[in-house]
Amino acid sequence: MSTILGLGLSNWLIWISMALFILVYFVVTERMNKREEASREDEE
Binding site for another protein (CB under 8 A): 1, 3, 5-8, 10-11, 14-15, 17-19, 21-22, 25-26, 29, 32-33, 36-37
CA-to-CA dists, residue 41 to 4, 6, 14, 23, 32, angstroms: 51, 54, 41, 27, 14
Min dist CB 42 to another protein, Å, is 16
Strands in 1-44 per DSSP E:
3-4, 7-8
Min dist CB 35 to another protein, Å, is 11
Min dist CB 28 to another protein, Å, is 9
